[in-house]
Amino acid sequence: MAHADAPRELRLAHAVAAQWEASRPTVKPDELVLGRFGVFSTVFASEYGGVRFEAGLWQRLMDEPSTSGEQRALLEQIRAEWDGQDFGGLVTAEWARRGISGRVPGSGLGPWAGHASQEYRLFLELGAVGMWERIARGRAANPGREAWYDGLLRVVEGVRGFASAVRESALVTAQHPSTTPERRTELQGIAALLARCPEHPPETFREAVQTFWLLFYLNGADSCARIDQDLGPYLERDLAAGVIGEAGARELIASLWVRFDENRSWSAVVGGVDAQGRDACNALTRLALEATERLQLEAPNLALRVHPRLPEPVLRQACRTIAGGGGMPPLVNDGPIIRSLQARGVSLEDARDYALTGCAQVVVPGRSYGGYEDILVNGLKWLELALHDGVDPLSGEQAGPRTGPPEALATLDDLMAAWQTQMRAVLDTCVEMAGVSLRVLAERFPSGLRSLLAYDTVERGVDLRAGGCRYNEGQADVLGLTNLGDSLAVLRELVYERRQLALAEFVAILDADWQGQEALRERCLRDCPKFGNDDPAHDAFVASLYDTVLEELRSRRTAVGEGCYNFDVVGWTGHLDWGRQTGATPDGRRAGAPLADSCGASQGRDAHGPTAVLASAARLNHDRAHGVLALTLRFTPPRQVEGEFVEALMALARTYCGLGGQQLQVNVVDNRLLREAQQHPERYESLVVRVGGFSAYWTRLSPEMQEAIIARTEHVM
C-alpha cells in the first residue's frame, strides 16, 4: 500500500521484500538451519500463486477486540484494494467473463502458478553482490526496463533483509536465559555466518546450506532440484580440508532434511550425469541417501537419477533405502528422460542437467518455465462422456459435445472417434483455463526471485513468467489411461467382435454399477486383456492411446513463450479423487473406485508378477513423454533388508532402465502392517509409504487413500 503509485512490478517487489523483512523469524531448539516466518499478513505473496488475499485472517483481525479504529480503517483499505484482485480472484473473474464455469468433468484445475525447480547455484555462486552486478549489466543491455530491474534490486534487498532478521532472531535466542552455553555458541556461529552470507558467496558447506535454505524457503519451499550438484562441491572441499567431518556433515544434512519435512517440500534429486555425460555423484549424493534412509521422513521427495555409469555402491544404497520402506528414492532413468527433453528442443547439455519438481515433473532448473501441473485431467472420463452422448452421469449436465447415443456408435471406430472428440473438448477448455492463469501471472504478478534464479531472464530483461526462460512449455498430468485402454479392449471384444452385448445394454449395466451382473463383471475383470501382464498386443493398443493423447497435447500452444503442451502420468492423489467422480467402467471397475495410480497396471490387475508389469510399462513411448511416466510397484518386506532382496531390487531397477522405462517407484510394505497401522495409528505416526509421485505419512492419509494403496498388488521377490 505504501507504493501504490509505483509501476506494478516495482510495487510488487517492494511489497514482497517488506513481507520478508517484517516476518519476525522464529528459532526452534536444536535446529542448525534457520529461517522461517513468524508472522503472516492478510495479503500474502507466494511463489506458488502470485498474491493471495487471506479473507479468513482478515476477518479474524477485524473481530479481534484489541484491533484499533485506525487498524480497522487500514484493514478496510486493504480489502478494498485486494479482495477479488488477488491472483485467484482475477483468474476466476476472467474465466467467468469467458463463460467458463471452472468445472471441467474429470479435471482438477485451479488458479495456481504450479511447481518450480530453480537454479540456486546462481545465487550461491554470485551472492547478493554478484547479483547486483548482474542486474546492472542487464539494465544496461535492455533500456526501457528500469522499473523491472529496480524491482529485482529490491528483491535482492529483501533476501538480505530476511537474512538480517534471521540473524537477529538467532542472537536474541542465544541471549535467552534458558539457552545452554553449547546452544549459544551454535547460534552465535550461525549469526556470524549470516553477517557474511548471502551478501557474499558462501565459502564453506555450512554457509552454502544456510544460504540455500534462505533462498529455498523464500521461493516457496517447493522443489530443490539437484541438491548434490548445488551443495556437494562445498561439502567435498570442506571434507578434504578438514573444515567439517562426516559426523558434522550428517548432523547438518539431518537438520536440513527436518526443515524440508516441516515445510512439506517436494522433489530433490541426486545422482545422474553432468553436462559432459560423466557420472555426477559426490559425497552429498551418498549422505543424502543416508539421511533419507535414517530419518524416514515424508519430505524431501528424494529421487536418484540412474544411468549406466552410476557407481554400484550408490545404486545398492538406494535399493537398501527402498527396502527399508518409505517409498524413496524413486529411481529415475537418465536415458529416456534426456532423449524426451531433446525431442522437445532442449539442448543435450541442458537436458543432462534436468531435475524433478512437484511429484516428479521433469524440468531443466533455471532454464525452463511452465506450470508443471497446468492441466490435471482424468482420461477415463472421456470414455464415460462418449458413452452418454456428452452427458456427465454424475451431474446429469451436458458436459461435452454430443457424439451420439450408444445406439449410434455402431462400430469400434465410431466409439474411438467419440471418446477422442470428448478428449479434444476437455483439453481445449483446460488449455484455455490454464492460459488465463499463466497470463494473469505474467501481467499482474511477475516473480523477481524466480527470475533471479534463472539464466536468461535478467540478461534479456524479461520476467520468468512472461517468457524470459530458455524453454517455455505446458504440461498435463493425465490419469486413467490404463483404465481407458482396458475398458476399450473389453468393449471391442464383447460388443464389437463377439457381439455378446449391445453397447446400450452394456451402458445400462454400468449405470447400475454392475447390480445383478457380478458374473459379467468378473468376466470383464479376469478374461479380457489387462495392461501390466506382458501382453504385447494389448500393451501396443494402450501405448497407441498414450500416443494419441500426447499428439493432441503437443498440437496446443502455451500462453507464455513458444512452447507446446506435453504430458506425464505420475499418480498423485487424482486417481482417488477422480475415481469418485467416475461411474462404473467396462474394465470391471465399480463406480467411485480409484483409477490406475501410475502408468502401470490398475490396482490388482497385474497377475503375472513384477517383470510382466515392467515389460508392459516399457512398451509405452518413454522417449517422447514429457516425463515422467512413473511405474509404481509394491513388494512384501523381506525378513532382512540386506542381502538377496536388495540384490533383486538392483536387478529389477537395471532391467527396467535397460528396457527404457522412465521411473520406478517402489513400496516395500505388506497389508498386515498397513491394517495394523489403521487399527492403531498412534503406534505408526512415523510410517511413510509411497502414494504416487510422492511419499506421505500413513496416518495422515484418508481412509480411502489407505484402501487404494492396500489394493495394489503385493508382489513377492
106-126 residue pLDDT tens? 776 667 777 888 999 999 999
Question: Does residue 530 lie within any of the structural domains?
Answer: yes
- Reported confidence tier of residue 543, pLDDT bands at 50, 70, 90: very high
C-alpha cell recorded at residue 707: 484402501
CB atoms within 10 A of CB 76: 12
Distant-in-sequence, close-in-space partners of 133: CB < 8 Å, separation ≥ 6:
126
- DSSP structure class, residue 683: G
Report, as an integer, the average pLDDT of 45-74: 92
Question: Does residue 499 lie within any of the structural domains?
Answer: yes
Question: Does residue 544 lie within any of the structural domains?
Answer: yes
Mean predicted lDDT score pLDDT of the chain: 93
- Reported confidence tier of residue 641, pLDDT bands at 50, 70, 90: low
Please tell me the distance from the alpha carbon of residue 603 to that of residue 479, in angstroms, as a whole number: 13
Residue type, 245: G
Question: Does residue 546 lie within any of the structural domains?
Answer: yes
Tell me the angle at which helices 146-174 and 181-196 cross, rounded to the nearest 10 degrees: 160
Question: Does residue 313 lie within any of the structural domains?
Answer: no
Report, as an integer, the average pLDDT of 230-240: 98
Half-sphere exposure of 224 (CA within 13 A, CB side): 32
Q: Please identify which residue in the block is written with the cell numbers 509505483.
A: 6
Taking each continuous run of H as one helix and of E as one strand, the counts in the chain are 27, 18
User: What would the pLDDT profile of 384-393 be if each residue is shown by its tens digit?
Assistant: 999 999 999 9
Please tell me the distance from the alpha carbon of residue 605 to that of residue 614, in angstroms, as a whole number: 14
Q: Please identify which residue in the block is written with the cell numbers 509411497.
A: 690
Please tell me the distance from the alpha carbon of residue 207 to that of residue 201, in angstroms, as a whole number: 9
SS3 label, residue 562: coil
Please tell me the distance from the alpha carbon of residue 228 to that of residue 318, in angstroms, as a whole number: 15
**What is the three-state SS of 168-222?**
HHHHHHHCCCCCCHHHHHHHHHHHHHHHHCCCCCCCCHHHHHHHHHHHHHHCCCC
Residue type, 340: S
Torsion of CA 132, 138, 143, 148, to 10 degrees: -60
Q: Please identify which residue in the block is written with the cell numbers 531443466.
A: 364
Q: What are phi and psi of 586, to 5 degrees?
A: -60, -20
Residues shown for the chain:
717
* H or E element that contains 616: helix 610-618
User: What is the total count of domains within the chain?
Assistant: 1
- Reported confidence tier of residue 24, pLDDT bands at 50, 70, 90: very high
Q: Which residues pair with 369 in a beta bridge?
A: 472
> Quick check: 144 pLDDT over 80?
yes
Question: Does residue 18 lie within any of the structural domains?
Answer: no
C-alpha cell recorded at residue 687: 510410517
**CATH number for the domain harbouring residue 707:** 3.20.70.20
Share of the chain above pLDDT 90, in %: 76
Torsion of CA 624, 625, 627, 632, to 10 degrees: -120
Q: What is the CA radius of gyration of the chain?
A: 26
Q: What is the DSSP string of 287-350?
A: HHHHHHHHH--S-SEEEEEE-TTS-HHHHHHHHHHHHTSS--PPEEEHHHHHHHHHHTT--HHH
* H or E element that contains 471: strand 471-472
- Reported confidence tier of residue 40, pLDDT bands at 50, 70, 90: confident
* 153 in Cβ contact with 209 (< 8 Å): no
Longest dimension (CA), the chain: 83
SS3 label, residue 603: coil
> Quick check: 443 pLDDT over 80?
yes
Please tell me the distance from the alpha carbon of residue 50 to that of residue 446, in angstroms, as a whole number: 8
| 423 or 710, higher pLDDT | 423
Residue type, 566: N
pLDDT value of position 275: 96
User: What would the pLDDT profile of 367-381 be if each residue is shown by its tens digit?
Assistant: 999 878 788 899 999
Question: Does residue 336 lie within any of the structural domains?
Answer: no
* 201 in Cβ contact with 210 (< 8 Å): no
Q: What is the DSSP string of 424-493?
A: HHHHHHHHHHHHHHHHHHHHH---HHHHHTSSSHHHHT--GGGT-SSEE-EEEEEE-HHHHHHHHHHHII
* 110-133 burial code (b ≥16 CB/10 A, e <16): ebbbbbbbbbbbbbbebbbebbbe
- Reported confidence tier of residue 717, pLDDT bands at 50, 70, 90: low
Question: Does residue 664 lie within any of the structural domains?
Answer: yes
SS3 label, residue 126: helix
> Quick check: 573 pLDDT over 90?
no
- Reported confidence tier of residue 42, pLDDT bands at 50, 70, 90: very high
Among residues 467, 392, 471, 469, which one has the least CA distance to residue 425? 392
Distant-in-sequence, close-in-space partners of 12: CB < 8 Å, separation ≥ 6:
45, 51, 151, 445, 446, 448
Domain span holding position 430 = 375-715
> Quick check: 150 pLDDT over 70?
yes
C-alpha cell recorded at residue 701: 492419509
Please tell me the distance from the alpha carbon of residue 703 to that of residue 219, in angstroms, as a whole number: 33
* 633 in Cβ contact with 610 (< 8 Å): yes
Please tell me the distance from the alpha carbon of residue 698 to that of residue 705, in angstroms, as a whole number: 9
Report, as an integer, the average pLDDT of 263-276: 96
* 307-319 burial code (b ≥16 CB/10 A, e <16): beebeeebbebbb
Please tell me the distance from the alpha carbon of residue 630 to that of residue 661, in angstroms, as a whole number: 8
> Quick check: 260 pLDDT over 70?
yes
pLDDT value of position 126: 98
Report, as an integer, the average pLDDT of 75-84: 95
Q: Picking from 37-46, 60-69, 584-593, which range would have the lowest pLDDT averaged per residue?
A: 37-46
pLDDT value of position 102: 65
User: What would the pLDDT profile of 516-536 be if each residue is shown by its tens digit?
Assistant: 999 999 999 999 999 999 999
Please tell me the distance from the alpha carbon of residue 403 to that of residue 423, in angstroms, as a whole number: 12
Distant-in-sequence, close-in-space partners of 168: CB < 8 Å, separation ≥ 6:
none
pLDDT value of position 704: 84
pLDDT value of position 686: 75
